[in-house]
Structure 1
Amino acid sequence: MDSMIFDLDGTLWDSTDTVLLAWNRLLKDYTKIKREITKEDLQGVMGLQVPEIGKRLFPDLDEATRKRFLEESCIVENTFIGKQGGILFEQVEEVLKILSQKYKLFIVSNCQDGYIEAFYQYHQLEKYFIDYENPGRTGLSKGENIQLIIERNKLSQPVYVGDTEGDRKAAKYAGIPFVYAKYGFGQVSEYDYVIETVDDLVRIF
């Protein structure tokens, strides 16, 4: 193994509270949306691409309004994340520091453009990662973005660390082993490795 590619939400951190605050602040400007978003709502769509999140949370909203809300929410969300951050899982930075001395580290997340940068901005973890990718920049699926990272950085034996079934399928699509972060948001039945806490990565690898 020469590298680790990480999912972000549910794997390295939980940004739900900050995202919830950003979205509900923006919802006040949308009279067509009669409800606030709950924490359970957001956790139920973590790992999905932005258009799919919009369809799941606002199925009755007309397409034009939903598209406008999602575009604005991404901007507001990135601003809030950059200023307030999220909750890093226990020992994340210590583990990244140790792993980065042995492996090349990357992030591939199903987020909008600017989200990973906001994560870096607040928590100052960019120094541990070589590259990152997301559909907000490429328009590609998670599996395709993993492949892009592999090709762009000439990786020979990477693994993907994530917490959802979508992450498992993306790793399978890219043809690499999947490490299931059991402490995250999703339930996964098949995996190559499983970790109960972030620091299990140091013990296993």
Structure 2
Amino acid sequence: MDSIIFDLDGTIWDPIDIVLSAWNGVIRKSNQINRELTRKDFEGTMGLQMDEISRRFFPALNDQERQKIIKDCCEVEHSFIEKNGGVLFPNVENVLKELSQKYKLYIVSNCQDGYIEAFYKFHRFDQYFLDFENPGRTGLSKGENINLIIQRNNLSNPVYVGDTKGDLEAARFANIPFIYAEYGFGQVSQYDIKIESFEELLRVF
């Protein structure tokens, strides 16, 4: 194995509370939406792309209205994350620091453009990762973005670490091993390796 590709939400950190605060701040100013979002709402959409999330959250809006509210939410969200960060899972930085000395590390997340950059800016984790990708930049599925990272960086034997069924499917699409982060947001019944904490990666590798 020469490299590890990570999912972000539910694998490296829990950003839901700060994202929820950002989105509800925007929603309160809208006369088209009559209820605020909850943590449970977000937990149920982890791993989905933004278009599907918007349809679940705002089914009464048309496509143009959804795109506008999502754009506004994401802009505020990025600002909040840059200033406040999210809740890292225990010992994440120490684990990344150690792993980065032995392996090439990457991130592929189903997020919007600018999200990973905001994560990097607050937590200063760009020093551990060599590249990243997301559908906000490419318009591709997670599996296709994993393949893009593999091709762009000439990886020969990578693995993918994630916490949702979508992560499993993306790893299978890319034909690479899947490590299931059981402590995250999703429920996955098939995997190559299961970890119960981020720290367990040091045992696996």
Q: For the superposition of Structure 1 and Structure 2, which TM-score range results when normalised by the shorter chain?
A: over 0.9
| Alignment match, 1:178 | 178
**For residues 133-168 of structure 1, what are the alpha-carbon distances to aligned partners after superposition, in whole Å with 9 as ceiling and x for unaligned?**
000000000000000000000000000000000000
Secondary structure class of the residue paired with 1:31? coil
**TM-align CA RMSD:** 0.6
Aligned pairs for 1:80-159 (under 5 A) are 80-159=80-159
| Alignment match, 1:52 | 52
**For residues 15-73 of structure 1, what are the alpha-carbon distances to aligned partners after superposition, in whole Å with 9 as ceiling and x for unaligned?**
00000000000012211100000010011101111010001111122222111101111
**For residues 72-103 of structure 1, what are the alpha-carbon distances to aligned partners after superposition, in whole Å with 9 as ceiling and x for unaligned?**
11111111111110000001000001100110
| Alignment match, 2:73 | 73
The TM-score normalised by the length of structure 1 is 0.99
Unaligned runs of 5+ residues in structure 2 are none
Aligned pairs for 1:29-40 (under 5 A) are 29-40=29-40
Secondary structure class of the residue paired with 1:126? coil
| Alignment match, 2:42 | 42
Q: Which amino acid aligns with 2:143?
A: G
Distance 1:6 1:87 in 2: 16
Runs of 4+ aligned structure 1 residues displaced above 6 Å come to none
Secondary structure class of the residue paired with 2:10? coil
Distance 2:136 2:64 in 1: 19
- Choose 105-114 or 55-64, whichever is displaced more: 55-64
Distance 2:93 2:63 in 1: 40
Unaligned runs of 5+ residues in structure 1 are none
| Alignment match, 1:165 | 165
Distance 1:72 1:143 in 2: 27
Distance 2:157 2:195 in 1: 19
The TM-score normalised by the length of structure 2 is 0.99
Distance 2:11 2:152 in 1: 23
Q: Kindly, what percent of the aligned residue pairs are identical? A: 62
Aligned pairs for 1:11-30 (under 5 A) are 11-30=11-30
Distance 2:112 2:64 in 1: 19
Secondary structure class of the residue paired with 1:45? coil
Distance 2:187 2:132 in 1: 24
